Amino acid sequence: MTSTDEGSRHDGPPQLRRVDASASAWVRAATRPCQERAVVGTLLPGGYDAYVKVLHPFWLPRGMTLDAALARRHDDETVEELDEPGTTRAGPFEWARLTWRDLMGALRLPLTPEVDEDVVPDLPELRYPFVGVPDPATLRALGRVLTSFTSGGCLLRLGELGGADVMLEGTLADVVEHLTLGVSGDRVTWWSADRAWCVAAHEAAEFTLVAGSETLARALLACADLEGLRVELTTSLRSDARGRD
């Protein structure tokens, strides 16, 4: 099995099986959801060697430079909302991926582990990141990296749908493709059957969190199709700064 076959290419609809919700009990037991201040450990279990925050990208109209977009910063045009996850409007055919590092550098703002989109001012031409599960391109890039660290099946927890968890089981490719369809819950968590890694997304977050080995963390940070930051279990999920007017 190659990374391309498992993480990015899939023939037919995802084949996931419903399993008992008790399969996610270990995640619940190892997270700290009741803290007043939401941190990485609110969504991901402890005990892993490394934690990475995968930032969902911003988007610019293809052919427009970042300088041109910033020049319109104070225009009165309304910022359009990005389409829901699972659509292709913000894909490579119409929009160009913009990294947080490039945007924050142009705005002369620090790129800290706690960064969120609230520190970014309104830019009429900018399309803001997907919240919840990331855009399909980012999901598939994440899947390609995870493939090398996955020896068996995966489990997917769609949390708090109607007050109860929905648990599904299948291959990594099936889980990734299922999520590209826009199916999610308030909290979405998926992990390898051997728990070598665990991934978490939240409906209000423009990033995805990954827990795993140090080798996995390095692979995520080295992937050209992903943008990530190292975080700790105690890293806040929200920046204290507020930059959008």
200-210: per-residue pLDDT in tens?
999 989 999 99
167-210: per-residue pLDDT in tens?
999 999 999 999 998 876 788 999 999 999 999 999 989 999 99
126-141: per-residue pLDDT in tens?
899 999 999 999 999 9
The residue extents of the domains of the chain are: 3-7+16-54+132-231, 57-73+81-119
31-81: per-residue pLDDT in tens?
986 667 789 999 999 999 999 999 999 999 888 889 888 887 755 444 444
The count of C-alpha atoms lying within 13 angstroms of the C-alpha of 59, restricted to the half-sphere facing its C-beta, is 26
Q: How far apart are the first and last CA of the chain?
A: 49
pTM of the model: 0.84
Contact 233, 110 (CB under 8 A): no
Take residue 21 and report the two structure tokens written for it.
Answer: 């919700």
Spatial neighbors of 74 by CB under 8 A, at least 6 apart, are none
Split at pLDDT 50, 70, 90, the class of 237 is: very high
What is the number of other CB atoms lying within 10 angstroms of the CB of residue 219?
19
Angle at 200 between CA 194 and CA 201, to 5 degrees: 155
Take residue 93 and report the two structure tokens written for it.
Answer: 């055919």
Coil, strand or helix: which one is 226?
A: coil
Coil, strand or helix: which one is 25?
A: helix
